Structure 1
Amino acid sequence: MEIQPFISNGNWNVKIKKGNRVVTLHSIDPYQEARRITEHFNTSFGYVLVAGMGLGYLVEYLIKNTNYNVVVFEHTKEIIELAKEKRGLDKILFSSRLKIFHNENDLFDFLDENFIKEFNFYINRQYASLFPEIYQSFAGHITAYLSRKHINQSTLKRFQKVWLRNIVKNSFFYFDLPGIVDITHNFTGKPAVIVGAGPSLMNNIEVLKELQDNVIIISTDTAYLQLVKSSIMPDFIVSVDPQEKNSLYVTGVFTMNYPFLVIDSAVSFLTLVNYPPDRIIIYDTIFPLYEILSRFWGSKGKLKCGGSVSTTAFDLARFFGCNPVIFVGQDLAFSSFKTHSSLNLLESIFLYKTDRFKNFETYNSKILVGADRIEIKGNTTSVVITDRKFLTFLDWFKREIKQTSSAVINATEGGAYIDGCIHMPLKDVIYKYGIDKKLDKHIEIRKNDLIQNREAFIKFLKEVFDLVDYLIPFAGRSLDVSMDLLANFEKIKNLAPVFNKMGEFDKILLDVLKSRKEVGRFIELTMQNVIEKILSRGEEDKLTEELISTWVDFYREAKEGLFYIRHILKKRIRLEERN
């Protein structure tokens, strides 16, 4: 790479030659360019992240003319030194509002440590063109970082009613099932293998089969079928997804000896019904409603979740104090252009539905086309393709591995490079860490007896049911009034009586929410979308049809949500009475 500074239109600029390519980093008027870029930033964000500093015109403009804090990622120190030499930017570069990083891991650590979740992002297009292997990859990582919050919000919206239903239905089992805190074991200091369902899993199957008696095997639910078909019986399965179809991963596999199933307390009711109850262990879900209700059955213990079942499986190994913790099948990428290992139940179901027009290759291609194709460093290859979702998992592992005292080894023979891991083949792990002897695996589980607490809980559910039943007619009347107002917006002259009628429900609902926090948790879960919509509107001093439509949506969602709550509470109370 050759760097050639020159003066153009009275301003320093620089040409960079790399191979047969030559690019100029700045425009003819770099100050005007910097001002124009800044105009597009969101002023509500306190930070600007600049990828590719060049000679520092944008950074200088931001420090001198705005209140933004500036974070710079510049891969070569040579450019920084050139900016100091030619443009005399020493004072700017030592500003307390400026942080410069040459290593992206250090940059992400800074963002995490300072809880910076939102910022304006600008990437120098010339850098992205000249150094795509660095800056396009970096842009993907930034996108994943910014997507964390959005993905969490999207997950909440998608599953809020599912979680509510599952918690209410599953509460039938909470009083009897043990939690991870009830486990006594001898796993501390012993090796554990976390088995994911990544496309490369089959590369490790034969070695894992020989190794199974020498380690604690913690399988994700998605990998369980593959292990059973390969004559490998895990010690534990971990399941976190609340959807009913996810129960098939564990209940659709039949075997003589069932592993312990460690599950999020908000998983599908079908899992709890169809898996042997003496092999189920639960842990506390992060869902706020569960946290309030758990006073009736007590804490089951907590496990972290980074959005993927593998992250929770990893935390279970840490909970046991296992050392080392070894990953296999943890691709976090589309290895060999596939999404999962063969014999994954998801793929098995799809294969059953395939024909010559909709074959398995078409399915994988559709997934890849729909995903963000982001190139990152590979584990066994220089580059692999991943997407934003996988990048959020990688980011979680990076942060958590840093806080883990045990050795963490990535023995996945494919997929993404996981920062913080020791990377080596599974065969080499056996010899280096002396995993060649059969383990004595001992586990005992304490039983629970919470009959009195169960009775108090059912009494509480009946009280919530009565309150919800009381609220429904008021929500219905307010909905009717708001719909009439919308239909006759131009004709109604005296709005006071209309607002009074609509306000009846608002007042009663607020009184209930203030006096019964638990009821509020039930209701807000069924109204999350419209509440967010209302809050996003801000204050308005003019009555418009759009505003009235928002009220209609509010009362409609309130009415439907209350009916939904009453329905699931009624079914849960009846279940208790029948048993």
Structure 2
Amino acid sequence: MIYSGTIEAKTGHLIPTYKSGKPAHSKYNPTGERLSIAEDFFGCIIVFGIAGGFHIKNLLANENIFKVIAVESDNESLDFCLSLETVKELSKNERVALCTMENFCQCTKENYIPSLHKKLSTLFLRSWHDELPDADARVNELLNKCLDSISADISVQAHFGKHWHINILSNLKHMSQSGFINTPVKIPEGKTKAAIIAAGPTLDNSIEQLKWEKECTYIVSTDTAYGTLLNYHIVPDAVVSVDAQQVSSEHFLGITKCRTVFIFDISSNPETVRTVSEKGNKIFFIRSNHPLASLIADKAAIPYTESGSGTVTIAAADWARQQKFRQIEFFGADFAYSDGKPYCRGTYLEKKFYSSSSRISSSEEKYSTLMFRTDLEKTEKGLLGKLGKSAFTNKILASYGSTLLQWASKHNLKQNGSVFTAISSPINSNTPTPSAFDFKAFISSYIEKVQSLAARMDEISLSHTVKEILGSRELISLLPLFAASGKETITEDISLALQLLLYYNL
């Protein structure tokens, strides 16, 4: 707690005092306290120091400040501020988010939308800053940690945003034109355990076990491991693919009709989906939390499947969990490079690297480049079991492994090495009722919503535009696309989105 009480200003307003005895605001006219911000600023502002809230209230007079994230030093100080009239009023304002230093990062992630708010600025209440001797160091540490996380997320959206949007629309159009209905997968009787097959190097050591147990095990392969299993004459029961890039099609080159069920995220590369579908194979669509996928989830009967940070191994495991398998075992989920290899034998990379190998650019060199593109650290033991004699991991792989363990904990799965067992009975998921998807009706309604906003952009304020976008599921679904547009204004973003939608309606 950094406050000691309140005193009454000349205007009759109560203002907080710090433990040092200094007032947080002017004793003469606290309501006139303002923070310096450029007149043409539009976006989101983080304010460190809430105190009496007068400075924050004045910021809200600028309609182009879409969101204010106001931060206090600790919970006790925040509770004290909330006892004051102006801060109570701010807590009810949808443009304001109040938090403490402890939950600052989470609050910022939930309220700052880079693709919509565009700019982000940080301000201090000067008296608050002076009261905390370590304010600069604490704030810098918080900001760096939080902005690194947000930057990683927005960079993924910037890279994949357009791919996701185009892929979802293309797959939906294909569903509608072909009369495809997303019928749930039937699990054969007698298969009581699910095996999740990733493409880590240790998979090569597990092949005999998979062959031995295949009669009682439902084998769910990731797309990268699919070719490896086929090379060992193991036909998986299901294959999961969530990759939006065209490279995913290389996992399925030369595919023929088989008993395998191919499970694709609705944002998967449409060329890959068509390649598999045209051979007469069974396809089932799943979805992530992408707002466009969520928008059409019920209409197209596409269930939500968790994938952590977009990891196909977790997506495969979560799909198996939803099929009510009580026991899930992982193979090749190393989250590390071992014995000098990034992947097991038989993946598409092996064919690619060996076929292009030469004296001056060998396959070994290509694998080394792949492994050493980021800093590595030696690891003694994998998260799910034994690794090779010489194993290394990196921050990205380690984060994938941690996310998998978080997923297991969330769903009450008890770990024993590479096997996870459900502690309680699986909860019935709300799977949408299968039905045909009318793409023509959907895209017409979608375009109409975007056109309506685009036609009024010159007549309404930026703040009203932001509010309208956040109030519409159709317009919210455009946010990942905005992140990929590279445009500086919302007007340009809307114009680009409309062009894309009109193209897909032709």
1:418-433 correspondence runs (5 A): none
SS of 1:219's equivalent in the other structure is: strand
1:109-508 correspondence runs (5 A): 150-175=151-176, 176-179=179-182, 182-185=184-187, 190-250=192-252, 252-276=253-277, 278-297=281-300, 299-307=301-309, 308-378=311-381, 379-380=385-386, 384-405=391-412, 408=415, 410=417, 448-450=434-436, 453-464=438-449, 466-467=451-452
Q: Which of 492, 495, 501 is the matching residue for 1:562?
A: 495
Check whether the contact 1:465–1:570 (CA below 8 A) recurs between aligned residues.
Answer: no
Alpha-carbon distance in 1 for matches of 2:48, 2:281? 53
The Cα shift of 1:314 comes to 1.1
Check whether the contact 2:378–2:391 (CA below 8 A) recurs between aligned residues.
Answer: yes
Alpha-carbon distance in 1 for matches of 2:161, 2:282? 28
The Cα shift of 1:367 comes to 2.6
2:140 maps to none
Check whether the contact 1:325–1:409 (CA below 8 A) recurs between aligned residues.
Answer: no
Which is further off, 389-398 or 207-216? 207-216
1:193–1:359 distance in 2 versus 1, CA, 3 Å = same
The Cα shift of 1:325 comes to 1.2
Deviations 1:197-236 (A, max 9, x none): 1112111123322322221000000000111111000000
Check whether the contact 1:408–1:421 (CA below 8 A) recurs between aligned residues.
Answer: yes
Deviations 1:364-418 (A, max 9, x none): 222333212123341436873101111111111222223445565545xxxxxxx
SS of 1:337's equivalent in the other structure is: coil
Check whether the contact 2:288–2:307 (CA below 8 A) recurs between aligned residues.
Answer: no
SS of 1:321's equivalent in the other structure is: coil
The count of residues paired between Structure 1 and Structure 2 equals: 359
2:479 maps to 524
1:174–1:284 distance in 2 versus 1, CA, 3 Å = farther
Alpha-carbon distance in 2 for matches of 1:517, 1:236? 36
What amino acid maps onto 2:192 in structure 1?
Answer: K
What amino acid maps onto 1:380 in structure 2?
Answer: K
The Cα shift of 1:170 comes to 1.4
Alpha-carbon distance in 2 for matches of 1:67, 1:115? 10
SS of 2:234's equivalent in the other structure is: coil
What amino acid maps onto 2:495 in structure 1?
Answer: L
Alpha-carbon distance in 2 for matches of 1:364, 1:144? 32
Alpha-carbon distance in 1 for matches of 2:166, 2:265? 14
In structure 2, list runs of 5 or more residues that go unmatched: 1-46, 50-71, 76-101, 108-143, 422-430
Check whether the contact 2:413–2:420 (CA below 8 A) recurs between aligned residues.
Answer: no
Deviations 1:99-151 (A, max 9, x none): xxxxxxxxxxxxxxx978679xxxxxxxxxxxxxxxxxxxxxxx999976554
Task: Give the CA RMSD over aligned residues.
Answer: 4.1
The Cα shift of 1:361 comes to 1.7
In structure 1, list runs of 5 or more residues that go unmatched: 1-42, 46-65, 70-113, 120-142, 412-419, 423-444, 475-502, 532-552, 575-579
TM-score normalised per structure 1: 0.53
Alpha-carbon distance in 2 for matches of 1:310, 1:457? 32
1:295–1:402 distance in 2 versus 1, CA, 3 Å = closer
Alpha-carbon distance in 2 for matches of 1:232, 1:369? 32
SS of 1:527's equivalent in the other structure is: helix
* Structure of larger gyration radius: 1
Alpha-carbon distance in 2 for matches of 1:116, 1:340? 39
Check whether the contact 1:218–1:235 (CA below 8 A) recurs between aligned residues.
Answer: yes
1:57 maps to none
1:170–1:350 distance in 2 versus 1, CA, 3 Å = same
Alpha-carbon distance in 2 for matches of 1:335, 1:407? 26
What amino acid maps onto 1:353 in structure 2?
Answer: S
1:507–1:192 distance in 2 versus 1, CA, 3 Å = closer
Check whether the contact 1:197–1:340 (CA below 8 A) recurs between aligned residues.
Answer: yes
The Cα shift of 1:345 comes to 0.6
1:467–1:67 distance in 2 versus 1, CA, 3 Å = closer
